[in-house]
Chain A
Amino acid sequence: MRQTIASFWRDHRTLLLAFGATLAVTLYFMVRLIVVTLYWANPAHHDVTIAAWMTPGYIARSYQLAPHVLFEAIGYGPAPGDPRSLRQIADETGRSVDDIAEAIRTAIATARATPPAATP
């Protein structure tokens, strides 16, 4: 038996190694899939983290706010049909992305703390 394995290894080393390697990669992805899914299933991770690629409109939609709330918070007028990411807004206004993101986070916190005005 041992001899069989040894001779098989000798004759088909590449195939065995390739099989072992792809099996390991598959297992890695499967474990990662469980970890990633569990992370995002946690309600504490449901709010989007503000990132430089996001537009104020996108952030407003994700947090279910009216876009003008965020545009006012960062003091930048909306440009319909000409979307701007936070990075572009930062570059144009000479501020840092972190600075703008902080203003947006504050506006979101304020909006969430204030109950929506009753509509007749």
Chain B
Amino acid sequence: MTEQLLELIPVYGVWLMFGVTFFSCLALPVPASIVMLTAGGLAASGDLAIDEVALGAFVGAVIGDQAGYALGRRGAERLIARLRARPARAAVIDRAFTLLQRRGRLGVFLSRWLFSPLGPWINFAAGASAMPWRAFTLAGLAGETVWVGLYVGLGYGFADRVVALSQIGGTLTGALAAGAVALALGLSLHRTMLARRRGGDLTV
């Protein structure tokens, strides 16, 4: 599927960039990073205009983030109300939302490019937890600038290495995203264990 999508880059150019980054921000499985690297590579040989490629990708990503936030905001209310019905679950949800409120800006920024597979989910969560819109948008704009600049720039600078960069970049962000989630779950486990020990149920 990726190959077919890449073949459409010279045909639809800017519009394809826009669509790909837009849908990738809504958790649709489109290889936006690979498309940006490839378009950067094609721009290096003069077949595409680099500023148009970057602008299309950037605008698509920013609007996609807003759509994800809006979806989270609207759609999540009922779902969260139902999930909160159980007190134990409500506590976990509250803790996650508090974390988002406190560290949300950094989370939004880093999940645009460094932990990019987590990006769409952070969008939904930010909307659902009613993270302030201004903070979400500013962090998102900064993060998308890095994401688009990094991938289009790398594709442009290392045009004859875009296939290698795609594979390495995709695997690296996958490892980082999974590692970040594993770390968060590990910390949560650790806290739970400490709480139990303090509660004295080690001897149970």
Contact = CB atoms under 8 A, between A and B. Distances in A.
B204 A4 contact: yes
Contacts of A29: 171-172, 174-175, 178-179
B160 A48 contact: yes
Contacts of B160: 48, 61-63
A37 B6 CA distance: 22
Interface stretch (B71-79, B134-142, B182-190): B182-190
A12 B45 contact: no
Interface stretch (B7-15, B25-33, B123-131): B7-15
A103 interface: no
B185 A18 contact: yes
Nearest to B172: A33
B16 to A, nearest CB: 11
A84 B10 contact: yes
B44 interface: yes
Interface stretch (B55-63, B96-104, B162-170): B162-170
A26 B6 CA distance: 28
Contact of A8 (B6, B11, B42, B193): B193
Contact of A33 (B175, B182, B192): B175
Interface in A4-53: 4, 7-8, 12, 15-16, 18-19, 22-23, 25-26, 29-30, 32-33, 36-37, 40, 45, 48-49, 51-53
Contacts of B11: 85, 88
Contacts, number: 104
A5 B107 CA distance: 33
Contacts of B68: none
B7 A58 contact: no
**Interface-centre pick from A26, A45, A58 (highest chain B CB count, 10 A):** A58
Contact of A58 (B159, B168, B193): B159
Given A40-B167, A53-B7, A62-B159, A23 B182 contact: yes
B167 A61 contact: no
A33 B186 CA distance: 22
B202 interface: yes
B178 A25 contact: yes
A68 to B, nearest CB: 13
Given A55-B45, A60-B45, A26 B10 contact: no
A40 B201 CA distance: 52
Given A12-B192, A25-B178, A62-B159, 11 more contacts: A8-B193, A15-B189, A29-B172, A36-B167, A51-B6, A53-B7, A55-B10, A58-B41, A61-B45, A63-B160, A84-B10
